[in-house]
Amino acid sequence: MKEIDKKNKTFEDIKHIDENGVEFWYARELMKILEYNKWENFEKVINKAKDACENSGISVFEHFPDVRKLSKRANNAEIEIKDYKLTRYACYLIAQNGDSRKKVIALAQTYFAVQTRKQEITEKEYTMLTEDEKRFYQRDLTRKGNYSLNQTAKRAGVKNFDKFHNSGYKGLYNGETADDIAKRKGLRYREDILDNMGSEELAANLFRITQTESRLKRDKIDTEKKACDTHNKIGKIVRKAIKQAGRNHARRFAYSTKKLKTIRKRK
């Protein structure tokens, strides 16, 4: 039991949190914990995990984005080396495809499987949450969705991200920019509009985000103008869908002004 607790703590120790609050692990740090000595051997495991991810119909790029790092050698010379920023799910797949003879691999499989399950929530569990808890849950999904969308938009040629995101807001909110929405909600300067939305409004924005990312990839968008036009178009489609469902969403959303930072998880 002590060994398990020690390893679990080690997995947590090498966890990183990016500027958007999204957790990730570096492959080269995980390699050492999983007792692989050569990068070439460990990358074979990563490739198997990527295949498993792709075969499941899940985006490999979102879970295994590669990065480049500078590494110092004995003579103080710096060379560029390859690494990966792994999601928790990617780490789980790596553990599943690792050397099963290693005890630490079994520990990793258990750790990442349990932790991944903790982040999941069933439809039944969701309906039992309070409105504040639903908002907290939807806000977390939206934050992660925006991070993924930003990466895809960047590859599509987007440089002015304020313009890109406002294109989506204008489509969903009938011409309103993020600043317009903030003013309508009576927010102070620099207050995040997403932190001041109800669960339905957050869900609508999450749908806009995920569908825009999907369209950017599927249509192989390669210019900022096309990316902004696509985001605006998806926003309008989501708005139209909500109207057809009998919701005056602009009016309903206007009342969602309670700050998300005041939310506390139910014990």
pLDDT number for residue 223: 97
pLDDT band of residue 165 (cuts 50, 70, 90) is: very high
pLDDT in tens, 116-164: 666 666 666 777 878 887 888 888 888 888 998 999 999 999 999 999 9
The mean of the pLDDT values for the chain is 82
> Residues 6 or more apart from 258 whose CB is under 8 A from it?
132, 135, 196, 198
Report pLDDT digits (tens) over 190-223: 788 988 888 889 989 999 999 999 899 989 999 9
Band of the pLDDT at 6, cuts 50, 70, 90? Answer: very low
In terms of average pLDDT, the best of 13-22, 125-134, 172-181 is 172-181
Whether the pTM exceeds 0.75: the reply is no
pLDDT score of 110: 76
* Length of the chain as a residue count: 267
pLDDT at 18 over 50: yes
Distance CA 231, CA 238 (A): 11
Q: In Å, how far are 5, 13, 23, 25 from 9, measured between CA atoms?
A: 6, 6, 15, 14
Contact 196, 256 (CB under 8 A): yes
What pLDDT, in 10s, does the model give residues 22-47? Answer: 789 999 999 999 999 999 999 999 99
Q: With CA atoms as reference, report the closest residue to 86 among 55, 136, 42, 135.
A: 42
